[in-house]
Amino acid sequence: SADKTVRLWDVATGKAIRTLSTQPDVVYSAVFSPDGKAVLTGGADHTVRLLDAENGRQIRQFTGPKDAVYTVAFSPDGSTVVAGGVGLGMERPAWLWNVGSSEPVRQMTGHTDDIYRVQFSPDGTRLLTCGYAGSLRVWDVSSGAALSSVSLREELGLDTLVLYSGCWLPDGKSLAVCGSDSRLWLLPVPAGKP
């Protein structure tokens, strides 16, 4: 949040239950682990943190990102985390870590635009990244190799499209993505050029 806090909310009442953590700068992304015991955060202070969901204690700070982190995600089994965001120069990497180590396993490079969304496939073997310039990329998690990419700006003829979010459908064969033009697209996982 803009007030630099991570809070738990009661979805039924809309009231804050408690503040888990106060961070040095704006928090852009926070997600629960699959078992609900931890919260992963990313923020303007270039950090990715793993917090205890019960008491807010920092379990780990992951190293790597040099710029703001816009998006974070857990793998379906909770063993791996990923983050993406802003980058300097021509590369905006997605960073991948084993949850038990602060050192990155790898960087997945290829985005030339800021990464606004990262999400693991339902089986955890692939990763979806969505970018500011309307780009979608699918990655192999075990190797870090780009499997496919597509520019929705080019495919749809929308010169100013920004992709804000994307997710895998449960079948692992399709994606839902939404962007700055207020539309939602359902499309097959892109195949072809990485």
DSSP conformational letter for 64: -
Tell me what pLDDT residue 90 has. Answer: 67
- Single-letter residue type at 99: V
DSSP of 82-121: EEEE--STT---EEEEETT-SS-SEEE----S-EEEEEE-
**Domain map of the chain by residue range?**
5-188
- Collect all residues with Cβ–Cβ distance below 8 Å to 8 and sequence separation of at least 6: 16, 17, 18, 20, 53
Per-residue pLDDT reduced to its tens digit, 26-45? 999 999 999 999 999 999 99
Instruction: Determine the pLDDT at residue 145.
Output: 94
What is the CATH number that goes with domain 5-188? 2.130.10.10
Contact 110, 89 (CB under 8 A): no
Instruction: Tell me which long-range contacts 108-115 makes (C-beta under 8 A, separation of at least 24).
Output: 108/139, 108/144, 108/146, 110/137, 110/146, 110/149, 110/194, 111/84, 111/87, 111/135, 111/137, 114/70, 114/85, 114/86, 114/87, 115/70, 115/71, 115/84, 115/85
**pLDDT for the residue numbered 80:** 98
Residue 1: per-residue pLDDT: 78
**Can you list the residues of the chain whose pLDDT is less than 70?**
87-90, 192-194
Closest CA to 133 of 102, 101, 111: 111
